[in-house]
Structure 1
Amino acid sequence: MAGALFGVLALLFALSASVSGPASRASSTLFRFPSPLGVSAAAREAGVVNAEDEAARAGDAASDKSTKSYSLKQQQQTRENKLKVLESGAMSLSGLETYKEFLASHPFVLVMYYAPWCYWSKATLPEFHAAAKILAHHEPPVILALVDSVEEEDIANFEDIREFPTLKFFIDGRGQPYQGRRHRTHLVHWVETRLDRDKSLTSTQHLDEMMSNREHGHLVIVGAFNSSGFDANAYVSVARRFGEDVFFGHVQDAQLIDHLRQHIRRLQKGKIPADVERRLANPPFIAVFSKHAHEPDVHLYTGNPSDVAALTSFVGRFRFPLISIFDADRLPENFFTDPRPKAVLIVDTKANPNALAAVEAETSTDPVVRAFLQGARKHRQSLLATVCGVNSPFEKHMLELLGVDEDALPALRIMSVNADSEGPHHPALKFRPEEKSSGRSGQARVPIRTLSPSVVSTFFDDFVGRKLEPYFRSEAVSDEEEPRGTVKTVVGSTFQQLVKDADGDVFIEFYAPWCGYCRKLEPAYKELAARLRDVPGVTIAKIDATRNEVPGMKVPGYPTLFLFPHGKKHDPPLVYSGERTVEDMLEWLQTRVAKARFDTNRLLALDLRARGGEAVGSVLEEL
């Protein structure tokens, strides 16, 4: 768990786990987060998404999809493709429109986006083909398909593919990232666990075994349905929205429903209200069994079992404790895979070693902590809440990520984490209590350093109400002049000016100082800048993505190379995914730059030693 949590922080910190070399871009499989559905472009880019509204939109979409019917022609196409897969393995897809139509006409599709030059792609292909033949026997068939991301650049950009191989599983056209190993047995098991989520409980022993998972900290959901009130599609749609830490089952036999009632009454603390008793006597009803301190062990959902949005929201509310302790061994395993934003209270555990325990036990007398608990409870369906100390390396990484000083505690932040996107965003948008301050340049937003209960309460309400703007980190701008022919340094505060507003094409590397592949690329990247020194209209640049944040930019791995073509700066940038050699980068740029004009062969023939100069000298030293 400690290693996983460190990796989570690394990715949130924009220290992605998918650091990649020129011949192997290993994909990051730590976690991904579903993107907002149906929100405005501005709200999505800012990361200000009301989780309750989002759940409703997502639920509505799922409800449509869960009951989606396929035409006879589409069903016939699926059967024909099944035979093709059984004969030859995974299918190959080409053309963006054909790709979209394929996903829309097949209920279950697992797609692998690969690069022919990538070692890990080559290693995965035989396993993927083998898994394809196994999963084709599922009913309805799961079709496995391949996309050559180098040839099919439009598809790769449409799906925001940044590392190879990347796998996505589509259920009724709705995608989710594959998170597992790439052996055939793991591929098959992972897919089957996401399809076969709802278990039909057929005996009291089976029901008791399902209930026993609660004792190990898992959330258990059991529905009691009579034959006329059970919407299997809707219930399964909800089940597929949660990971393996949440167990779903249902009973329909009268004796088993009565056995379920006994479990509910045994765990119910206090007298059961009359309206709940009436619902227990008249199915359908759905029981959510949890094991969280300071709250009931069973929660009864009495709404419409076919309302996917409402049921999804209800189950999600109790997936985690009200307050999770940010500790390597205690933070729930799927805390960061849940799409809801994370409210983080940082307390001074050096001055008060018992501060975390007091928050968890809800015994703290600190008015700020009490306000935090109240806000977390009020907005539990919209946010997850955690409390963090300042002692361990994990805690210190969180402080650094959030830009919190230890001399300004307690501090409160909210992280809205997004990935695998529809639309541009940063991997971890951060929000803090702020106030306006007047200065020479007008009013500016400055952080509130001293928290009060009213500040905490307003902060929660304003975030859920989408009234806040995120804050971004940036290094200071260097005063040193950079010679012509060198790689230009960009920081967060200069990105708009030097990249988005630049008069010309900008090719920029997002890197991490600790990344070995970034260091390996550095000589070739410097040589690229030197060879393009006398080409007007093109800039070769770099930005330290671990210390600078850019609104709207997603950087899933290091190094990531983007081209911002002249005249198209408001469009999504082009992503370079070829070999990281000077020749390959020049050839790729030559066919994609909008303003600069050059001949790759002529530039490669230049004798850099004869040109001399400070910029060229630094390149020659590394060569």
Structure 2
Amino acid sequence: MYWIHICLLLTCLCAAFAKEEDVVELVDSDFESRMSDYEVALVMFYAPWCGHCKRLKPEYAKAAEDLLRNDPPVMLVKVDCTEGGKESCTKYGVSGYPTLKVFKNGDVLQDYGGPRDAAGIVKYMKAQVGPSSKELETVADFDKFLTAEKDVSVVGFFEKETDLKIAFMKVADKLREKVRFAHTSFKNILEKQGTKNAIILFRPAYLANKFEDDSVTYSEKADADQIQQFIKENYHGLVGHRTYDNKDDFKNPLIVAYYNVDYNKNAKGTNYWRNRILKVAKNHKEYNFAISNKDQFQMELNEFGVEFTKGDKPLVFAKNDKDQKFVMSGDFSIESFEKFVKDLIAEKLEPYLKSEAIPESNDEPVKIAVAKNFDEVVTNNGKDTLIEFYAPWCGHCKKLTPIYDELAKTLQNEDVAIVKMDATVNDVPQPFDVKGFPTLYWAPKDNKNSPVRYEGGRELNDFIKYIAKHATSELKTYDRKGNEKKKTEL
């Protein structure tokens, strides 16, 4: 048994190393000469100690193995910026790790802006080689194209050169990195499909269901914008498979069912629940619908107050077009889901608000805002307001705390509120946009709907000068330049 375990371990290690070997490692001495041999290549400039690089490497290796089989092959390259590749990294302006760039015949074509999982890298890089739309000559070519990838296929059928074909090719050039395109003018394929001048979007077989057609046809005006809109509206179908890489495709108003979505290991179980979502979604096109893997989107579930999930049934959450959040309570069933959707559309549901408890006392110079008292402490306080959105673990926030406290004490008799809010445990309302910590905003008392991000210095005097200049009414103790006013003797 011991030796069986050792053999299995060695087999796994060999497989891992074989994939690593599919990535070409270059150094300064051979970078330019080797890169000129590759028609298209993706280069990862990395540092061995970089955590993001370590996470990317296995996905990069898996992608390399797949792309070597492409026709033509696409090479994946890595360069260590801390050792043999220092000069190359400097030459190509690498300032952070990992940096990925697409090269063509040895020259930089563009910065890589695609996904960072193996499947996403493969799809993105395949789009960089050959024409943006593949020409299909035989029925076998057509059938192979539709089944070669588990993805949407958009095919143009043109009996002759037409304005529709010209518009189609423009769209293919524009969307080649996201969508698979092919076209044909060959009679045998046109006859099989039964069309002579149309564009058809074919959905992947794994998403087939009885609630929507497997394909959608466009035969309208020869207009590139309209064709692009047609693809956008139909690409994900009634209930899209929402992943981390395509999540930005799904816009509000949106309803998402989170469960054990896994089309590789459990396609049947995944579609069991998706079909129940589809049954309701087909009657309510006012909202967009999607399914997502609950583990992959745990951070999103946290935003709806869910720290741990158990069981197989979907959890359903929604956002309306105002970005308000809604939670479906109770166990999932078609009936409960239908009721949730109807009540959501009819605006009968109370929005979910992630919030700390309202402080029992808020008498300190720095006022505490939470989601539940935000209107009172910020929006409707009748004062110009400086608000800091922070995270308890943030080092820069901790450094700012004594300065911020001193600022509040200095201005406590002015018509100005100094406020802070823990943005990790409270929903941040619109129009405040918080992506890092600390983020500070200045909200004038007469225009709270248009707050201005504070980008100034973070010393006490920096804050005072800014507030003195921008306050709605001149401060009592400082002039507009932030100079302290002289006290008038009685």
Q: Identify the residue that residue 206 of structure 2 maps to in structure 1.
A: 293
In structure 1, the residue matched to 2:52 is none
- Asked whether the equivalents of residues 376 and 384 of structure 1 are also in contact (C-alpha less than 8 Å), the reply is yes
Q: Find the structure with the greater CA-based Rg.
A: 2
CA distance in 1, matches of 2:198, 2:355: 52
User: What displacement does 1:498 show?
Assistant: 1.3
Contact in 2 for aligned 1:235/1:306 (Cα 8 Å):
no
Deviation of 1:459 after TM superposition, in Å, equals 3.0
**Cα offset for 1:430?**
1.9
Matches of 1:503 and 1:556, distance apart in 2: 23
Helix, strand or coil: the match of 2:247? Answer: coil
Q: 1:360 aligns with which of 270, 273, 283?
A: 270
What is the rounded CA distance, in whole Å, between the counterparts of 2:361 and 2:270 in structure 1?
Answer: 50
User: Which of the numbers 279, 303, 306 marks the counterpart of 2:219?
Assistant: 303
Verify the 8 A CA contact 2:238 2:288 in the aligned structure 1: no
List per-residue Cα deviations over 1:369-408 (Å, max 9, x = no partner): 764241245558952421555xx5x454343222247699
In the aligned structure 2, how far is the partner of 1:503 from the partner of 1:578? 24
CA distance change for structure 1 residues 286 and 376 in 2, over 3 Å: closer, same or farther?
A: same
**CA displacement, residues 43-73 of structure 1 (integer Å, 9 cap, x when unaligned):** xxxxxxxxxxxxxxxxxxxxxxxxxxxxxxx
Q: SS of the counterpart of 1:483?
A: coil
Match of 1:483 among 364, 370, 392: 364
Matched, 1:579 2:484: no
Q: TM-score, normalised by structure 2?
A: 0.59
Q: Against the structure 1 CA distance between its residues 566 and 196, is the aligned structure 2 distance closer, same or farther, given a 3 Å change threshold? A: farther
| Aligned sequence identity (%) | 23
Aligned-pair Cα RMSD in Å: 4.9
**Within 2, Cα distance between the matches of 1:219 and 1:182?**
24
Matched residue, 1:503: 382
Give the C-alpha shift of residue 542 in structure 1. Answer: 0.7
Kindly report which structure 2 residues correspond to 1:107-118, keeping only aligned pairs within 5 A, or say none: none
Looking at structure 2, the residues matched to 400 and 530 of structure 1 have their Cα atoms a distance apart, in angstroms, of 35
How far apart are 1:499 and its partner, in Å?
1.0
User: Which amino acid letter does the alignment assign opposite residue 222 of structure 2?
Assistant: S
2:397 counterpart of 1:397: no
Post-superposition shift, 1:579?
2.9
- 2:288 is matched with 383
Change (3 A) 1:407 1:224: closer
Distance 1:592 1:432 in 2: 40
Alignment partners' CA distance in 1, 2:397 and 2:271: 45
Question: Does 2:425 match 1:547?
Answer: yes
2:154 is matched with which residue: 221, 228, 234? 221
Q: 1:469 to 1:227 in 2, by over 3 A?
A: farther
Alpha-carbon distance change, 588 to 211 in structure 1, aligned in 2, over 3 angstroms: farther
3-state secondary structure, aligned to 2:407: helix
SS in 1 for 2:132: strand
Is the partner of 2:206 in helix, strand or coil?
coil
Amino acid across the alignment from 2:150: G
Is the 8 Å Cα contact of residues 356 and 387 (structure 1) preserved in structure 2? no
Residues in 2 aligned to 1:186 and 1:415: alpha-carbon distance in whole angstroms: 40
Structure 2 SS opposite 1:224: strand
In structure 2, C-alpha distance between the alignment counterparts of 1:218 and 1:127, rounded to whole Å: 34
1:343 aligns with 2:248: no
What SS does structure 2 have at the residue aligned with 1:230?
helix
Residue matched to 1:457:
338
Distance 1:576 1:197 in 2: 47
User: In structure 2, what is the equivalent of residue 22 of structure 1?
Assistant: none
Q: Does residue 215 of structure 2 align to residue 312 of structure 1?
A: no
Q: Gapped runs of 5+ residues in structure 1?
A: 1-125, 129-178, 266-275, 350-354, 419-424, 434-447, 606-623
Deviation for aligned residue 1:575: 1.4
C-alpha distance in structure 2 between counterparts of 1:182 and 1:314, whole Å: 26
SS state of the match for residue 529, structure 1? helix
- For residue 230 of structure 1, the aligned residue among 122, 143, 164 is 164
Which whole-Å CA distance do the structure 1 matches of 2:362 and 2:399 have between them?
25
SS in 1 for 2:421: strand
Residues 482-523 of structure 1 deviation map (CA, whole Å, 9 limit, x = unaligned): 333xx2110111111111111221100112223333333333
1:284 and 2:197 matched:
yes
Counterparts of 1:395 and 1:200, CA distance in 2: 33
| Inter-partner Cα distance in structure 2 for 1:310 and 1:182 | 28
Distance 1:190 1:586 in 2: 41
Counterpart residue number, 1:334: 246
For residues 488 and 334 of structure 1, the distance between their equivalents in structure 2, rounded to whole angstroms, comes to 39
Contact 1:371 1:456 in 2 (8 A): no
Q: Which has the higher contact order (CA 8 A, sep 6+)?
A: 1
Alpha carbons of structure 1 residues 431 and 453: separation in structure 2 relative to 1, 3 Å:
same
Hey, what's the Cα distance between the residues in 1 that align with 2:454 and 2:102? 24
Deviations 1:332-378 (A, max 9, x none): 631344435553334599xxxxx97664142x6xxxx7642412455
Q: Give runs of aligned pairs for residues 511-530 of structure 1, distance below 5 A.
A: 511-530=390-409
Specify the alignment match of 2:447 in structure 1.
568
Question: Residue in 2 aligned with 1:594?
Answer: 472
Distance 1:458 1:243 in 2: 40
1:533 aligns with 2:412: yes
Matched residue count: 365
Alignment correspondent of 2:117: none
Q: TM-score, normalised by structure 1?
A: 0.48
Q: State the alpha-carbon separation in 2 of the partners of residues 572 and 538 from structure 1.
A: 17
